[in-house]
Amino acid sequence: MRSSIPGLGRVMVFLAAALASASLAVPGSWGEEGVQYGQLGSDVTLSCAGAPAGSPVQWRRAGAAALPEGSAIQQGALVLPSASLASMGTYSCHGEDGGLLHAVSLRLGHLPGVPFVSCRASDYENFSCSWTSSVETFLPTRYITTYRKKSLTGEEKRRNKNGHVGLCLQDPSRPGTCTVHRSEFWSSYRMNITEVNPLGFSYRLLDVTMQAIIKPDPPEGLVVEPIPLAPRRLHVSWKYPSSWPKEPHFQLRFRLQYRPVIHRSWSVVETVNLSEVITDAFAGLEHVVQVSAKDFLDAGNWSEWSAEARATPVRDLATTASEETTTEARLESLAEEPSQAPNPEPINRSDPLEKMAVLVSLGIFAFFVLAAVLIITIFIWLRMRKHGKDKTKPNFLVAATHLKALPKAQIL
């Protein structure tokens, strides 16, 4: 972002620009002496420091027999038109006698782009912002990170008439992040993340509200245990994340998800307690459990899920005892029976009850078939009878009409 920002952002932009300009102006601040930076795709001019004015000079490139194509020497300086990555290297200028006058290492890259920035608060006292570059510059890069509180109280306005701009502190062990300490949960902040390299700088302004970016760390110490004599129950307990201050005014609520390991769908339960009893677990099946946290007043977002914990509910005692008894009986019978030669006749493993069930099923099926045949026969007979009556009725009416039309003498 390079356009001017009125009001609140102007001070932050001016400060970032001043710091960026200071970084650009300090010789050697980007590395060792004798390095010159240029922009890819633009004309780059290398000066021959130490050469007498107007004296002819020669330019050479280390490790190459000739200078890049299209290059030209103008008033002792070497001009590289539309420089590309292939133009990088070490160049040196020499006098008429071949003596070295100056050497410079050329590095090429791009101007910084507007960085991508996101912020998150793992508790209600501090928040952190992280960023990534939007352009691969091929050059050393630094970041200037500042913030300003948007809404100031009367006392704060009197103490900071020009607006208070603070530094979002960067941790060398966590590159690409900075932290604002002792922030206020009900306040809003404007962040300025400025990316600087030897060619220039670019920045992004981001308004941050603590209530919107609060996202606790996952709960810790998740423990899942079976409950004795309860085949479908598991006891689950956990602790607050260590990063969340234990204050009565800022509590967390929790979301518990669980499933048998062999299933894919989760069951979810919400609670404000630090423990929960699962009452619909599957006896004898291993279950996987996870828990996440969120601000009690529903501010911000749910945390990531905690690490998994697993446990298996106890098996039903009656089923377990029955299986153990059956197993022991089989083992005893196998131990008591002497070994015999193999019997070539097939073994009849059918059960009398199974035979009886098959016969009953066949009888019921035959009954329904016979009933269906009988119903169809009766239906056909009724249709045929009705058709016969309808056929004889017109002949009788014709005969009666003919008799009525004859003279009485003929009828007698």
Chain length of the chain: 412
Domain residues for the domain of 200 are 116-212
Which residues pair with residue 133 across a beta bridge?
none
* Residues 202 and 266 grouped into a single domain: no
- Average pLDDT for residues 135-154, to the nearest whole number? 86
Residue 246 is predicted with a pLDDT of: 77
* Residues 165 and 251 grouped into a single domain: no
Residue 369 is predicted with a pLDDT of: 86
User: 384 pLDDT exceeds 70?
Assistant: yes
Cα 288 to Cα 293: distance, rounded to the nearest angstrom: 18
Residue 363 is predicted with a pLDDT of: 81
Domain annotation covers residue 353: no
- Average pLDDT for residues 239-262, to the nearest whole number? 91
Residue 153 is predicted with a pLDDT of: 57
* Residues 226 and 302 grouped into a single domain: yes
Residue 107 is predicted with a pLDDT of: 94
Mean pLDDT, the chain, integer: 80
- Average pLDDT for residues 186-211, to the nearest whole number? 93
* Pick from 72-76, 317-321, 336-340: least confident: 336-340
Starting at the edge strand found earlier in the chain, the sheet holding 177-180 runs 116-120, 127-132, 177-180, 169-170
User: 314 pLDDT exceeds 50?
Assistant: yes
User: 248 pLDDT exceeds 50?
Assistant: yes
User: 165 pLDDT exceeds 90?
Assistant: no
Domain annotation covers residue 76: yes
Distant-in-sequence, close-in-space partners of 244: CB < 8 Å, separation ≥ 6: 122, 123, 216, 217, 250, 252, 293
Quick one: tokens of 308?
Answer: 């998994």
* Pick from 64-73, 79-88, 151-160, 300-309: least confident: 151-160
Quick one: tokens of 188?
Answer: 């809003």
User: 357 pLDDT exceeds 70?
Assistant: no
* Residues 133 and 184 grouped into a single domain: yes
Q: pLDDT category, 197, cuts 50, 70, 90?
A: very high
- Average pLDDT for residues 123-149, to the nearest whole number? 93
Residue 183 is predicted with a pLDDT of: 87
Residue 4 is predicted with a pLDDT of: 36
Which residues pair with residue 172 across a beta bridge?
none
DSSP states of 342-384: PP-SPP----HHHHHHHHHHHHHHHHHHHHHHHHHHHHHHHHH
User: 13 pLDDT exceeds 80?
Assistant: no
Distant-in-sequence, close-in-space partners of 325: CB < 8 Å, separation ≥ 6: none
CB 192 within 8 A of CB 146: yes
- Alpha helix stretches (DSSP H) within 37-169: 154-159
Cα 80 to Cα 215: distance, rounded to the nearest angstrom: 52
More confident residue, 33 or 128: 128
Task: Give the end of a domain, one of 76, 92, 109.
Answer: 109
Task: Give the end of a domain, one of 178, 196, 212.
Answer: 212
> Which has the closest alpha carbon to 255: 200, 311, 301?
301
The Cα angle at residue 313 between residues 312 and 319, in degrees rounded to 5: 120
* Residues 146 and 64 grouped into a single domain: no
* Residues 206 and 127 grouped into a single domain: yes
- Average pLDDT for residues 203-219, to the nearest whole number? 93
> Which has the closest alpha carbon to 204: 133, 112, 117?
117
Task: Give the end of a domain, one of 69, 89, 109.
Answer: 109
Domain annotation covers residue 375: no
Residue 353 is predicted with a pLDDT of: 57
Domain annotation covers residue 139: yes
How many domains does one find in the chain? 3
Domain annotation covers residue 287: yes
* Residues 199 and 232 grouped into a single domain: no
Give the CATH number of the domain where residue 43 resides: 2.60.40.10
Cα 218 to Cα 290: distance, rounded to the nearest angstrom: 10
- Average pLDDT for residues 362-373, to the nearest whole number? 85
Residue 328 is predicted with a pLDDT of: 52
User: 24 pLDDT exceeds 80?
Assistant: no
* Residues 236 and 260 grouped into a single domain: yes
User: 3 pLDDT exceeds 60?
Assistant: no
* Residues 195 and 123 grouped into a single domain: yes
Residue 411 is predicted with a pLDDT of: 43
* Residues 133 and 149 grouped into a single domain: yes
Domain annotation covers residue 285: yes
Read off the pLDDT of residues 76-109 as tens digits, 9 standing for 90 and up: 899 999 999 999 999 999 988 888 999 999 999 9
* CA dihedral (155, 158, 162, 168) positive or negative: negative
* Residues 191 and 225 grouped into a single domain: no
Domain annotation covers residue 406: no
Residue 17 is predicted with a pLDDT of: 54
Residue 235 is predicted with a pLDDT of: 96
**Location of structure tokens 């101007």:** 111
Domain annotation covers residue 23: no
- Average pLDDT for residues 189-199, to the nearest whole number? 95
* Residues 203 and 139 grouped into a single domain: yes
What per-residue string of b and e applies to 261-285 under the rule 16 or more CB within 10 Å gives b? eeeeeeeebeeeeeebebeebebee
